[in-house]
Structure 1
Amino acid sequence: MSIKRLELFDAINYTLLSLICVVMLYPFINVASVSLSSYSAYVNNPMMIWPHDFNLAAYQEIMSRALLWRSYLNTVIVTICGVSIGIFLYIITAYPLSKNVLKGRKFFMVLIVFTMLFNGGLIPNYYLMRSLGLLDTLAALILPALFSGFSLILMKNFFESLPEELEEAARMDGASDPYILFRIIVPLSKPIIATLCLFAAVGYWNNFFNAIIYIRSVTNWPLMLYLREVIEAASMMAQQSNAAEMGSQQVTSETLKYATLMIVMIPILCVYPFLQKYFVKGIMLGSVKG
């Protein structure tokens, strides 16, 4: 391929990637701009990409609500506990499954794959939570999403890609299996661990359906359930108020809704850049072997 063709190919690639980035970034920029603008500015230009009549009234209003911080705390607790326990379970389960010497290895893998295709359904899961006394507790948000067959297979495949000579050398020095796993294998598995942490964290942070099914008390609401309540209240406010009344208000349903969306999104957006460098490597090495 000639140099001119390569330059044309690169130019087309960069152009397409730039357009994709603009399309993906625009909704976020629009939400941020509306949340920092007045309602009259929003009505005049709903598709704005820059705030007009800049004000922080919506953020002051939403942050003054104690339930927001309680929901934030619940979601942080659920996310940290779920990710930590889940990653530990993946590690201690995937390591023996990555060894051919494990008896019944194929049988266990069939059982794991089976859970990816079939599950007990909503009603049995609800009765299980009720029989365990976990309804209306944060544990009901952690346990159902604690283990994923797909994530386990990714970690198992990553462990299989690591050189066996490292373990053989450690055993020759008298190292035990737990020592090898946590002092040698785990430090070398940062890419897949970071990738699965990101998967699990996003899943727990955005957990909405389980909260509707299992949570009743307002004090146990996760952040997404609180966001749903804010959006529904904002919609009712918009139906009961006309455009003139909303235009004269400092905080309206639309700006309040968009401000809440920003508050919900910011933590994950802050965490993602620190894990991004491990993401591609973890997925590639964890998915090419099995």
Structure 2
Amino acid sequence: METRSLGDKWFDGVNIALLAIVSLIVLYPLVFVLSASVSNPAHVLNGDMWLLPKDITWKGYSKVLDNKELLNSYGNTIFYTAAGTAINLVMTVMAAYPLSRRDFAGRNLIMGLMVFTMFFSGGLIPSYMLVKQLGMLNTFWALIIPSAVSIWNIIIMRTFFQSSIPNEIQEAAAIDGCSDWRILWRIVLPLSIPILAVMVLFYSVGHWNAYFNALIYLTDRAAYPLQLILREILIQGQMEEMVSIGDSSHAQTIMDEELVKYAVVVIANLPILVLYPLLQKYFVKGVMIGAIKG
């Protein structure tokens, strides 16, 4: 067995200590929000509850489940995320795979034009006018089509295809009579599970947390995503708290709203917190392979 020097042991000890501190810093807000969502709001507002829940109550979650608008927006967000991620994934693969092929003429020019859009864009007003002229205002397409593809993610996926999938495999498949579509479907995609998982995570998190496009393009509350409703709850709660300073008649209302805030935050972030551990092993592998080779 290799004998580790005293310096190596100190290095490992310092790293472990630093990572433990960072983990505590990251975990504390999560634990606090979870505890606050089931604690008596009086203890939360007074600062008595700082980590573990006090006087456990499920009133906040019951109010969320009784609110049809919240449940409807939750369903909208799930739909937007699923449909948007599927379109994003297809568009990214369709763009990245041809650009990774050596026999694709003009790929460098096309890639340069795509990269140009990362530095220069039309801005919000032209984008709004375009969405309006296309008849997508107040429809779910306005939340999906404008963000159908990310140039940065195309670059990541193209780099993965170039560095992780040997060109000889594709040439051998072509000699055996495989078409380009069959090479992509039968060879490239099965070997690209790590980067596909990374793209699913990137796009799904982006769609799940998005609210600005909905704020700009949607006016029908029935089509609002969860994050837009959550934004309204947080802003409305802050305004009511400022207006009702010194007025005891709103005290109970404010405490109930505090419970609802924390409960909605927990419910809104739960799917992403569940998704990330499932894709974590692919996340590191997919990003690092595409970043350090080639």
| TM-score (structure 1 length as normaliser) | 0.94
Is the CA contact 1:235–1:253 (under 8 Å) kept in the aligned structure 2? no
Identity %: 41
Structure 1 residue 63: Cα displacement: 1.5
What residue is the counterpart of 1:6 in the other structure?
8
Match of residue 136 from structure 1: 138
RMSD after superposition: 1.9
AA matched with 1:259: A
Distance (whole Å) between structure 2 residues aligned to residue 252 and residue 87 of structure 1: 41
For residues 233-268 of structure 1, the C-alpha deviation after alignment (integer angstroms, 9 at most, x for no partner) is 322443337585566569522222111111111011
Pairwise CA distance, 1:277: 0.6
Q: 2:55 is matched by which residue type in structure 1?
A: D
Matched, 1:262 2:266: yes
Match of 1:32 in 2: 34
Counterpart residue type for residue 20 of structure 2: S
Tell me the CA shift for residue 46 of structure 1.
Answer: 5.7
Q: How far 1:167 moved relative to its partner?
A: 1.2
Deviations, residues 108-142 of structure 1 (Å, cap 9, x unaligned): 01111011111110000000010011011111011
8 A Cα contact 1:39 1:246, kept in partner = no
Q: Distance in 1 between matches of 2:247 and 2:275?
A: 39
For residues 50 and 231 of structure 2, the distance between their equivalents in structure 1, rounded to whole angstroms, comes to: 24
More moved, 256-265 vs 167-176:
167-176
The separation in 1 between residues aligned to 2:25 and 2:49, in whole angstroms, is 13
Which deviates the most, 184-193 or 230-239? 230-239
Structure 2, unaligned stretches of length 5 or more?
none
TM-superposed deviation, 1:289: 4.8
Aligned mate of 1:209, from 208, 212, 222? 212
The answer on 1:172 being equivalent to 2:178 is no
Deviation track 1:12-39 (CA, whole Å, cap 9, x = no partner) reads 1100000000001111111111111112
Compared with structure 1, are the counterparts of its residues 31 and 243 closer, same or farther at alpha carbon in structure 2 (3 Å cutoff)? farther
Paired position in structure 1 for 2:222: 219
Aligned partners of 1:21 and 1:156: how far apart in 2?
33
Counterpart pick for 1:288 among 281, 288, 292: 292
2-structure distance, mates of 1:3, 1:37: 49
| Whole-angstrom CA distance in 2 between matches of 1:186 and 1:283 | 16
- From 162, 167, 188, the equivalent of 1:160 is 162
**How many residues are aligned here?**
290
1:99 aligns to what? Answer: 101
Of 268, 272, 275, 1:271 maps to 275
Between stretches 169-178 and 52-61, larger displacement belongs to 169-178
SS at the partner of 2:146? helix
1:243 and 1:26 mapped to 2: Cα distance?
32
- Segments of structure 1 that go 5 or more residues without pairing to the other structure are none
1:65 deviates by 0.5
- Which of 106, 120, 125 is the matching residue for 1:123? 125
Is contact 1:58–1:251 with CA below 8 Å preserved after alignment?
no
SS in 1 for 2:64: helix
Residue 70 of structure 2 corresponds to 68
The answer as to whether partners of 1:136 and 1:216 remain within 8 angstroms in 2 is yes
Code of the residue aligned with 2:113 in structure 1: it is L
Distance 1:237 1:259 in 2: 19
What is the rounded CA distance, in whole Å, between the counterparts of 1:170 and 1:2 in structure 2?
48
Q: Is the 8 A contact 1:136 1:217 kept in 2?
A: yes
Residue identity in the other structure for 1:117 = F
Report which stretch shifted further, 279-288 or 50-59.
279-288
Q: 2:232 aligns with which of 212, 229, 234?
A: 229
Cα separation, partners in 2 of 1:11 and 1:217, compared to 1, 3 Å: same
* Residues in 2 aligned to 1:242 and 1:141: alpha-carbon distance in whole angstroms: 42
Of 244-253 and 182-191, the range deviating more from structure 2: 244-253
Q: Give 1:44 deviation, angstroms.
A: 3.3
Contact 2:42 2:255 (C-alpha < 8 Å) held by counterparts: no
Task: Work out the CA distance in 2 between the residues paired with 1:245 and 1:58.
Answer: 20
